[in-house]
Structure 1
Amino acid sequence: MGFRCFNWRFVIAFVLSMGFQGELAGAHGRRQLVQSLEAADDGVCTAVVSPQGYECREYEVKTQDGYILTMHRIPQGRGGGSAGKRQPVLLQHGVLSDGLTWLLNPPHQSLAFVLADKGFDVWITHGRGTRWSRRHESLNTSDTAYWAWSWDELASYDLPATMGFVFQKTGQKLHYVGHSMGTLTALSAFSEGKLVDKIKSAALLSPVAYLTSMTTTIGRAAASAFAGEMLGALGVAEFDPKGAVGTKFLELVCAMPGVKCYDLMASLTAFRRGVITKYDHGSSTANMAAYGLSSPPEYHMSNIPHHLPLLLSYGGGDMLSDVKDVQLLLNDLSNHDADKLEARLVKEYAHLDFVMGVTAEQVVYDGLIAFFDKHS
């Protein structure tokens, strides 16, 4: 399931926080850094990575459908370390964010820096439509056609392009870390047997596959509203929640019966049926032309190869990746090789704590690195 014609950063999940129990260390300073990045032309390497004492490299990767994505690489930690090949790790952010997700806290609390200091070769993606990945071989961002894609394309084009680039550049299979939508795209690809030959293992933080147990009313309302009817009526291609259209959307959603907008930052979804399907073209005729079926086919998580090492880390306070929905995913994976599947519940964590919490290094990242070492 997906929506086309909208800026992915803002549409599919409108508000990605879905609850945040912790806090960002040095949040004020990092917020100023992000604001200065938005106001200037400084890149991620210049403004964020290099000032922390890390080597940083920038690459461009073109997808099969013509989008030009930026990737950033931190090839080693601040201490340099021993010579020789380092194990590559690809970090894929969720919606309403970009690769800065992994860099916003101080080095000892940001996963990209932590991995680099632990001896990994770290690769950071920036999804299509985000600040550093807004180019296309023939389209401009002012063209409606530029935004004519859904998360299906992220799984079918962006992930193969970035993962394939790292595989080719390093000559090694890689470990994968996805958060939220970064887990959805990976799970979808893996369920079709794609990319499995290029990775050693995958760590899925706040995994999203089912959304049947979302606890917040506004999340369910936003999911329904994002069918396209509401936004289509507003007449926009690129949706900015800070602008007039975003304000109008909030007014419409918050006016719905039972919706309490104080929990807006604790919910969000793009799924209305509660399961993952391919893009719905809007009619049985269009779907029949695309898929040979009257409705879009599902991605079956049980088809993920049983030998693929998977780590699922999820939170008891997560209002999007609900514990009950993660259990549905685990049920799909019940035939997975026992030594290749680990599930870890962090009771006190909500959605963003897994990438921005000040305790994430000890609570999440140490175990993630041990999992990678086990499957290297």
Structure 2
Amino acid sequence: MALHSFSYYSQLPFIIIIFFFFHGEGGFSPSPEEVGICEAVVRPYGYKCQEFEVTTEDGYILGMQRIPVGRNGVIGGARQPVLLQHGVLMDGMTWLLNSPEQSLAFVLADNGFDVWIGNIRGTRSSNRHVSLTPSDRAYWAWSWDELVENDFPAMVDLVAKQTKQKLHYVGHSLGTLIALASFSEGRLVDKLRSAALLCPIAYLDHMKTKLGILAARLFVGEILSNLLGLAEFNPKGDYLFLECDFTGNNCCLNGSTVQLFLQYEPQPTSTKNMVHLAQTFRDGALTKYNYGVNNIQRYGQSTPPVYNLSNIPNSLPLYLSYGGRDSLSDTEDVEHLLQDLKLHETDQLVLHYVQNFAHADFIMGVSAKQVVYDSMMAFFRQI
């Protein structure tokens, strides 16, 4: 029986559960007096930290953080800039949840890199707009297409202008998707030294996360948006499904890291963004947002345009690291991506497979430095 034939009313019990889960009490809600990521979690460890803002072409004001030097404060000549981009339902805190010896942002700074942390629209550091507020439905009228077109270029341009250098890019999960989509359209490749993609997501055909599959198949995103009028997707309450139902069976998280995660995350995104991700799973293709009967008006064709990943420049240095226990970035889907990259110059494509890592291990795992980050930094230094 086709899932498309289910009525909204037959799905209401599940919808109600989702509604109260994502709009219930509890969870971390940043107050207006919050001091920002630099003051809250970077400077207390003894690092210098700067807060920046950049406005996108469509009016979103994005906050970024910079850790210009390591904890010892020694500059030691030109430091290559690295831009870190988080995944969905997260923000720049992604890179700061462990100790300085284990968190990627600190590790990079201590190893001679000029570290920049990006935060996409709607998150704690990037919740302002030139004319809208998060209480306006129009504020949330975007999907990851707009991140490709606006947020990603704005952040890269800021780093390039401030440092007057090409930069390395590190994305995790959604941060890899917007990069791959951007590169496929020839965007920004002239401003990057390389791109490191942790848990790369381009295809979601083999996604195994139970919650994600159920939501995608039941069109929960469309229902939340259309039936209940929810433009903002704001997960509140316990988020413990991070450890298995959502990301896979992570091997290497400790209790204190999970508690810190629950204090600061998750972050809101748009319902439309979640719908777009669900479309990627349901349709088995990487395309722009599918507006259905409005595609012709939007795109001049009945189907949404495809992001053709085989168009990614073959000379762009790429580092892909993925895990055998990842329920979101499944190994079969990574293999699909690699088929698109089969003509990539062999000396410009590094693959790094970690059998026992799941999705969150790459950013929160206590052994991620030894298992992933050291290899990634060696890759940067060869470019």
Same fold (TM over 0.5): yes
Give the conservation status (yes or no) of the 8 Å contact 2:212–2:246.
no
2:200 to 207, 216, 224: 207
Q: 2:371 matched to 1:363?
A: yes
Contact 1:37 1:43 in 2 (8 A): no
Is 1:140 equivalent to 2:133 in the alignment?
A: yes
Identical pairs, percent? 57
Higher mean displacement: 94-103 or 231-240: 231-240
Matched with 2:5 is none
Matches of 1:169 and 1:40, distance apart in 2: 28
> What is the one-letter code of the residue matched to 1:176?
Y
Q: Structure 1's 142 and 361: CA in aligned 2 closer, same or farther, altered over 3 A?
A: same
Query: What amino acid is the match of 1:236?
Result: L
Q: 1:351 aligns with which of 355, 359, 362?
A: 359
Matched with 2:252 is none
CA–CA separation in structure 2 for the residues paired with 1:114 and 1:207: 21
Matched, 1:154 2:147: yes
CA gap of 1:40–1:89, structure 2 versus 1, over 3 A, is same
* Aligned with residue 277 of structure 1, among 271, 280, 287: 287
Residue 117 (structure 1) aligned with residue 110 (structure 2): yes
Measured after TM superposition, the shift of residue 339 of structure 1 is 0.3
Q: Distance in 2 between matches of 1:343 and 1:83?
A: 30
Match for residue 245 of structure 2? 264
Which whole-Å CA distance do the structure 1 matches of 2:350 and 2:91 have between them? Answer: 27
Q: Distance in 1 between matches of 2:73 and 2:243?
A: 46
Name the SS for the 2:370 alignment partner: helix
2:214 counterpart of 1:233: no
Asked if 1:106 corresponds to 2:110, the answer is: no
Distance 1:207 1:318 in 2: 11
Contact 1:37–1:47, Cα closer than 8 Å, also in 2: no
Alpha-carbon distance, 1:97 to partner: 0.5
CA distance change for structure 1 residues 182 and 261 in 2, over 3 Å: closer, same or farther?
closer
Q: Which shifted more, 83-92 or 226-235?
A: 226-235
| Deviation, structure 1 residue 35 | 5.4
Could you tell me which of 43, 48, 67 is aligned with 1:50?
Answer: 43
Provide the C-alpha distance between the structure 2 equivalents of 1:41 and 1:217, rounded to a whole number of angstroms.
35
* 1:282 CA displacement: 2.6
Aligned equivalents of 2:105, 2:322: Cα separation in 1: 19
Of 178, 182, 191, 1:189 maps to 182
Give, in angstroms, the shift of residue 141 of structure 1: 1.1
Separation in structure 2 between the aligned mates of residue 153 and residue 273 of structure 1, nearest angstrom: 20
User: What is the TM-score with the length of structure 1 in the denominator?
Assistant: 0.82
2:315 maps to what in 1? Answer: 307
The separation in 2 between residues aligned to 1:319 and 1:212, in whole angstroms, is: 11
Name the count of aligned residue pairs.
327
The CA deviation at 1:231 is 3.9
Q: Residues 261, 168 of structure 1: CA spacing in aligned structure 2 closer, same or farther, 3 A cutoff?
A: closer
Q: What RMSD in Å do the two structures reach over aligned CA positions?
A: 2.3
Q: Is the 8 A contact 1:155 1:188 kept in 2?
A: yes
SS at structure 2 position matched to 1:107: coil
Most deviating of 196-205 and 35-44:
35-44
Unaligned runs of 5+ in 1: 1-13, 15-33, 248-259
Q: CA separation of 1:143/1:323 partners in 2, compared to 1, >3 Å: closer, same or farther?
A: same
Q: CA deviation at 1:39?
A: 8.4
- In 2, the alpha carbon distance for the partners of 1:208 and 1:36 equals 28
- Greater CA drift, 38-47 or 119-128: 38-47
Please tell me whether residue 333 in structure 1 is matched to residue 346 in structure 2.
no
Cα distance change on mapping 1:262 and 1:61 into 2, 3 Å: closer
Q: Is the contact between residue 218 and residue 263 of structure 1 (CA under 8 Å) also seen in structure 2? A: no
Distance 2:155 2:162 in 1: 10
Contact 1:190 1:196 in 2 (8 A): yes
Report the CA distance shift for 1:314/1:49 in structure 2 as closer, same or farther (over 3 A).
same
> What secondary structure sits across from 2:43 in the alignment?
helix
Deviation at 1:263, TM superposition (A): 5.4
Alignment partners' CA distance in 2, 1:348 and 1:60: 38
Contact 1:175 1:199 in 2 (8 A): yes
